[in-house]
A and B are shown apart, each in its own frame.
Chain A
Amino acid sequence: MLAIGLRTLRTRAGSFLGAFIMLAIVATVVASAGQLMASALRDPGPGRFARADLVVRAQSEVTLGRGEAQEIISVPRSARVSDATVTKLADLPGVERAVGDLSVPVSVSGRDAHVHGWPAAALTPYRLTEGRAPRMADEVVLDAGVAHGVHVGEAVRVVTPAGVRTLRMTGIVARQPLQSALFMTDRAARELSGGYDAVALTVAPGFDAQALRTRLGPGMEVLPRSEASAADAGNPRALAQEELFAVIGAGGGMTIFVAIFVVAGTITFITDRRRREIALLRAMGATPGQVRRMLLVETALVGLLAGAVGCGGALLLAGTLADALTNVGVAPEGFTVRPHWIAHVVGLVAGTLVALLASLVAVRRGLKVRPGEALVAAAVPQRRLGPVRAVLGLLALGGGVTLVIALSHDATAYAVLAALCFALGVATLSPLLLGHPAALLGRLIGADGASRFLAGAGLATGRFRVGAVAGPIALVVALAGAQVISIATAGEAVREVSAARVQADHVLVASSGGGLPPEIADRLGATGMVATEVFLLDRELSNGSSAWPAAGLDPETLDGTLDLDVRAGSLTDVRGDGIAVSTRLAEAGDVELGATLSARMADAGPRRLRVVAIYERALGMGDIVLPRALALEHATAPLDSAVFVRGHADVEFPTVERLTRADYFRALDSELEDGAQVQWVVAALMLLMAAMAVFNSGAMAAAERRPELVLARLAGATRGQITRAQTIEALATTAVGIVGGVAIVMASLAGIGNDAQAGTLVVPLGQTAFVLALGATLGLLGTLLPAALLGRARLTANAGLRE
């Protein structure tokens, strides 16, 4: 039986090609995602701590939610460690040496680097190639990369969070491929940082790390050398793992969803065309079980092969994808893919599993073939919408409705997902929802009687065929349309709110894109804003995550720079542990003025915060306003992300870029575009899949329709009439698909009125027109191209009586 399946596969390779290509794409996507995740999860390695045995730091993990919804977030930089802790660790039996380590972000001649204390140089080790170690507070050692062009004994200007320092370079160390490094005396470095980030230990052989863990308790983490670089706040890889995973997960997940659906259509079609073959096998004595096994083995093999191709593809693609993610800011700078075998396994499994899942419907239909059908001439039976298919379609539609209703307060964020649900539902029920309208339309349009008649008849009897093509067209239009409109709407809302909030005449930002030393805002008496985040622990917040973007601000400075539109309480009380929250957060979390929230700060440090004000204009800034000092204390990098200045801003400071209000909004626009790019990276693969489906089902439909049209020609129809009939069918099919897609977009955005963040619905004309044109082009090309190719191949003799 297996041999028969294999031989069928060989002779029918052509009809499996469509399914194969799509499976290969899915497998490529999944394997690439696997490679990216494996690379991101890979043991971070010792990094700067190659000579340390263990590294101790404050707890970096924040656990949010309970049970099923539990989520563990690991922050890029944990809370500071005190001198006392270093001494205590050094005194433990078995510990030979304990070195406090820290990283302070600085910039030297336009280049980002990190300052460390000189004792930490030995941990890597960075060895002196010239000069000597720093001994005074104004002395510094640079690595050869940073020192480029500067000689020992000369002065270097270093922009630190505490302002610009002019230091004397006393030595040069060999460069390491990790990151750019500067070394100051331990005391001078510690003054810049406010404490140590971690403690590196050298221990005697046989030291019990587990015992140390127990001894230090849950407030501290002990990392082995293989993971030590995670404790290095200067290591760019420590950043952005969560966002990377979210993007990869969402993109991969939705692509798999679409793929199962699309491939299922193809495989069902192939199986339908093989009814006689299956009937013959059954007549020859094949049991239903044997037929099932044959069909499953075939598809599994196709899936496995496609998986293998996908793994190869992933090796080529993962690098490009990583670059794309780095470009849009999701992956950290310097993120590279190192192939891991597990991703190959994942790719193979994905290909096979998607193929098998997709073949379930086909197998069910295959099993219904009666052996007696081998004796009768009619090959493809009258098709009906089976109960399973109907139920699946209704489920998908119901899912869409639920999303729109239940999550209407966050409608823009979930519009694409809702559109996906609706589109899959519509496509599943397409013979009903799209086939009937197409038949109606076909009867209305058309040039001359004969071709109109032919097209009308074809559309009316071929509702399944028409639906199979119109469904993916609707999918493309729905996904792209929902995406375009929700991105535009969300962007416009951010723009509106920001325009109302920002009143400053000038905004200072760092030209490198990083942050500005707090000293600048202090000197100018301007509003420095620290961008950070806060994790709220004890509130069931319905947006699914409890990580809230937050801003650190000094309330006394806000006059004439930022207007947050305070609704309750007063911003002047934002000091100490007093914070302000947005109306959105207040509603979502049922937070009232005076409430005390148990929170974790951006460095995972626990803190109880008191709500002293509620404000409206949060979009584009953050839903929590912290006292700036508190924000600086816990932020990953203690810097202002922007400084808002009233009136004239007189600053002479390297790395500062001074923007007028208009410039600032222009910069905001390009930031929003970067955000949109991330979403398009996610959607691109799904759209590719759906577009492939249009062509694939177009080709299948043409193959199914061909014998009929050939018969019509034999019965006297002219070539022109046939072509016109095909064109009418294509037009009707495409039009119905596009209208279906547009209807889906409208349905999925129905809840937008409830989305407080969304503001007014924005339909960008140019992009919307592009989406419609895309749908039309895909639809017409996908239907007419295969028809033309098939028609030319062999129109004459064979009227399709034989297989």
Chain B
Amino acid sequence: MRPAIALTTVSRSYGRGDSAVRALGNVSLEFPAGSFTAIMGPSGSGKTTLLQCAAGLDRPDSGSVRVGELELTELSEKRLAQLRRREVGFVFQSFNLLPSLTAAQNVVLPLRLGGQRPKRGTARAALDRVGLGKRARHLPAELSGGQQQRVAIARALVAEPRVIFADEPTGALDTRSAREALALLRSLVDEDGRTIVMVTHDPVAAAVADRVVFLADGQVVDSMTAPRADAVAARMTALGA
């Protein structure tokens, strides 16, 4: 099967001269369509950087990033923005929602940015799916952290993107909210056939994925299919995290 996303020898450094930090060094990775991949690694190992490069939020210094047929490194800022509207969705650890828009307005934001007038009920249906149908008119400040996270997931659903990127989506959540959010993500893969790439520090969360990729010092050091939480935890301990 064609991979939904393919990174080939991607490198990314921050800063210049002596203070330069090599966040990613020649990373090559494929994310098959319809798969759920967890990315793990010690703090500072380059997980967020990897996600940014794969999602077209940042440009690598060298290497190639392909999403479907498109080579991201060759696209203009404008085309990248358009790609983000249609092809990819995001769930971040925090500050997911625009504080001045209601939950429903946040959900349809990508459509709005694309100049579409969302059909009535679109936002409501997506919010219903994450169990927040009654909170459509609330502002983010009136929602709990877990609820905000689910609104972000609803937003990732609405544009029907092929790939969803999540950076520590459960990092700020209690165990129960985290479990609900993970179940939602899992159902997106199983029922809707989406591709998910998720950065996490939590072995239990990683165990929900089909595969775990381990990063250390900007390199892929290991990967594990059909992961189990205890095995993942053991591997992380070995990496020094």
Partners in one complex: yes
Mark B88-118 against chain A: 1 for CB-CB distance below 8 A, else 0. Answer: 0010111111111100010001101110000
1/0 per position for B156-182, CB-CB distance to A under 8 A? 000000000001000000000000000
Contact B84 A371 (CB under 8 A): yes
Taking A1-B112, A284-B90 as contacts, is the C-beta distance between A277 and B99 under 8 angstroms? yes
Which segment of B51-59, B125-133, B189-197 sits at the interface?
A: B51-59
Q: How many Å from the CB of B170 to the closest CB on chain A?
A: 15
Name the one of A12, A289, A290, A372 contacting B100, with C-beta atoms under 8 angstroms.
A12
Q: Are B98 and A4 closer than 8 Å at their CB atoms?
A: yes
- Chain A residues near B86: list those with CB within 8 A: 285
B182 CB to nearest A CB, Å: 19
Report the minimal beta-carbon distance from B117 to chain A, rounded to whole angstroms. Answer: 11
Tell me the chain A residues, 365-420 only, with Cβ under 8 Å from chain B. 370-372, 374-377
Q: B57 to A284, Cβ gap below 8 A?
A: no
A-side interface residues, number (CB < 8 Å): 30
Q: Are A282's CB and B48's CB within 8 A?
A: no
Are the CB atoms of A282 and B81 closer together than 8 Å?
yes
Known: A285-B85, A287-B82, A370-B58. A375 touches B48 (CB 8 A): yes
CB distance from A629 to the nearest CB of B (A): 77
A280 engages B98 (CB within 8 Å): yes
Say yes or no: A283 contacts B84, CB within 8 Å: yes
Can you pick out 13 interface pairs between chain A and chain B where the beta carbons lie within 8 Å of each other? A276-B95, A277-B98, A280-B96, A281-B113, A283-B84, A283-B90, A284-B84, A284-B85, A284-B155, A285-B86, A370-B58, A372-B52, A803-B99
Separation of A1 and B113 alpha carbons in the complex (Å): 7
**How far apart are the CA atoms of A280 and B82 in the complex, in Å?**
14
Which of chain B's residues have a CB closer than 8 A to the CB of A375? Answer: 48, 51-52, 57, 92-93, 167
**Do residues A7 and B78 form an inter-chain contact, with CB atoms below 8 A?**
no
Interface hits, A242-293 → B, CB 8 Å = 276-277, 280-290
A11 pairs with B100, CB closer than 8 A = yes
A600 to B158, CA, bound (A): 79
List residues of A whose CB falls within 8 A of some B CB.
1, 3-4, 7-8, 10-12, 276-277, 280-290, 370-372, 374-377, 802-803
Q: Does B71 contact A (CB under 8 A)?
A: no
Q: Is the CB of A286 within 8 A of B101?
A: no
The answer to whether A285 touches B77, judged by C-beta atoms less than 8 angstroms apart, is no
Most chain B Cβ neighbours within 10 Å, of A7, A277, A283: A283
Q: Assess the B57–A285 pair: CB atoms within 8 A.
A: no
Q: Which residues of A contact B99 (CB under 8 A)?
A: 11, 277, 803
Q: Which residues of B contact A3 (CB under 8 A)?
A: 112
Name the one of A284, A376, A802 contacting B113, with C-beta atoms under 8 angstroms: A284
Contact A285 B114 (CB under 8 A): yes
A287 in contact with B98 (CB, 8 Å): no
A341 to B93, CA, bound (A): 54
A377 vs B167: C-alpha distance when bound (angstroms)? 12
Q: What is the minimal beta-carbon distance from B41 to any residue of chain A, in angstroms?
A: 15
Closest approach, in angstroms, between the C-beta of B80 and any C-beta of chain A?
Answer: 8
Extra 7 A-B pairs, beta carbons < 8 Å, given A285-B85, A288-B77: A11-B100, A280-B95, A285-B83, A288-B81, A374-B57, A374-B92, A803-B99
- Which residues from chain A contact B101 at a C-beta distance below 8 Å? 4, 7
The docked-state distance in angstroms from the alpha carbon of A285 to that of B159 is 11
Complex CA–CA separation, A283 to B93 (angstroms):
14
Q: Mark B38-66, 1 if CB is under 8 A from A, else 0.
A: 00000000001001100001100000000
Closest residue on chain B to residue A10 by CB atoms: B100
* Chain B residue at minimum C-beta to C-beta distance from A286: B113
**Closest Cβ of chain A: how far from B76's Cβ, in Å?**
9
Chain A residue at minimal CB-CB distance from B85: A285
Residue of B nearest to A367 (CB): B77
User: Which residue of chain A has its CB nearest to the CB of B199?
Assistant: A375
On chain A, the residues within 8 Å of B92 by CB distance are 374-375
Asked if B90 contacts A289 (CB within 8 A), the reply is no
Pairs of residues from A and B, 9 with the lowest C-beta to C-beta distance, nearest first: A285-B85, A11-B100, A372-B57, A285-B84, A372-B58, A287-B81, A372-B52, A371-B57, A7-B100
- Listed residue (B58, B81, B82, B98) with the most chain A CB atoms within 10 angstroms of its CB: B81
Pairwise interchain contact B98-A281, C-beta atoms closer than 8 A: yes
CB of A285 within 8 A of CB of B98, answer no
Most chain B CB inside 10 Å of its own CB: which residue of A8, A284, A803 = A284
With A371-B57, A374-B92, A803-B95 given, is the CB distance from A287 to B77 under 8 Å? Answer: yes
Please give me the residue from chain B that is nearest to A9 by CB atom.
Answer: B100
**Residue of A281, A375, A802 contacting most chain B CB atoms (<10 Å):** A375
- Known contacts A1-B113, A280-B96, A375-B52; A286/B81 CB under 8 A: yes
Q: Which residues of A sit under 8 angstroms from B97, Cβ to Cβ?
A: 280
A371 to B165, CA, bound (A): 14
Q: How far is the CA of A377 from the CA of B95 in the complex (A)?
A: 9
B13 CB, min distance to chain A CBs, angstroms: 14
Minimal Cβ-Cβ distance residue in B for A289:
B78
A285 engages B81 (CB within 8 Å): yes
Name the residue of chain A whose CB is nearest to the CB of B82: A285
Task: Verify A290–B51 contact, CB threshold 8 A.
Answer: no
CB distance from A366 to the nearest CB of B (A): 14
| Shortest Cβ distance from residue B231 to the other chain A in the assembled complex, whole angstroms | 28
Chain B residue contacts of A276, Cβ below 8 A: 95
A8 contacts B100, C-beta separation under 8 Å = yes
CA distance A438 to B197 in the complex (A): 48
CA distance A281 to B85 in the complex (A): 10
Contact indicator A285/B58 (Cβ below 8 Å):
no
Expressed in whole angstroms, the Cα–Cα distance for A488 and B99 within the complex equals 55
Nearest opposing residue in chain A for B87, CB measure: A285
A651 to B51, CA, bound (A): 99
Query: Chain A contacts of B94 at CB under 8 A?
Result: 377
Closest to B53 in A: A372
Report A168 CB to chain B, min CB distance, Å.
83
A293 → chain B, closest Cβ, in Å? 12
Cβ-defined contact, A284 with B82, below 8 A: no
Tell whether A290 pairs with B113 under 8 Å between CB atoms, given A282-B81, A371-B84: yes
Question: CA separation between A47 and B78, bound complex, in Å?
Answer: 65
Closest chain A residue to B84 by CB distance? A285
Q: Which residues of A contact B100 (CB under 8 A)?
A: 4, 7-8, 10-12
- B165 to chain A minimum Cβ distance, whole angstroms, is 9
- Tell me which residues across on chain B come within 8 A of A283, comparing CB atoms: 57, 84, 90
Q: Which residues does chain A contribute within 8 Å of B95, judged by CB atoms?
A: 276, 280, 374, 802-803
Neighbouring B residues of A803 by C-beta, 8 Å: 95, 99
CA distance A253 to B72 in the complex (A): 49
Give min CB distance, A707 to chain B, whole Å.
Answer: 15
Q: Note all chain B residues with C-beta closer than 8 A to A11.
A: 99-100
With contact pairs A280-B95, A280-B98 given, residues A285 and B52 touching in the complex (Cβ less than 8 Å): no
Contact A284 to B109, CB < 8 A, known contacts A374-B92, A375-B57? yes
Cα of A28 to Cα of B105 in the assembled complex, Å: 37
A377 proximity list for chain B (CB < 8 A): 94
| Chain B residue contacts of A280, Cβ below 8 A | 95-98
Chain A residues near B110: list those with CB within 8 A. 284-285
**CA distance in complex: A662, B73 (Å):** 85
Minimum distance in angstroms from B66 CB to a CB of chain A: 19
Residue ID in chain A nearest B49 by CB atoms: A372
Decide if A4 touches B48 in the complex (CB within 8 Å). no
Minimal beta-carbon separation of A372 from chain B (angstroms): 4
Chain A residues with Cβ under 8 A from B81's Cβ? 282, 285-288, 290, 371
Please, how many angstroms separate the alpha-carbon atoms of A287 and B114 in the complex? 9
Among the interface residues A7, A285, A289, which one has the most CB atoms of the partner chain B within 10 A?
Answer: A285
Residues of chain A with a CB closer than 8 A to B82's CB: 285, 287
Report the Cα distance A286→B48, complex, angstroms: 21
Minimum distance in angstroms from A8 CB to a CB of chain B: 5
Q: How far is the CA of A286 from the CA of B94 in the complex (A)?
A: 19
| A586 and B77 alpha carbons, distance in the complex (Å) | 65
Residues of B within 8 A of A372 (CB): 52, 57-58
Interface centre among A289, A376, A377 (most CB of B within 10 A): A376
The interface residues of chain B lying within 8 Å CB-to-CB of A281 are 98, 109, 113
Which residue of B is nearest A373, CB measured?
B57
Complex: chain B residue closest to A288, CB-CB: B77
Give chain B nearest CB distance to A278 CB in angstroms: 10
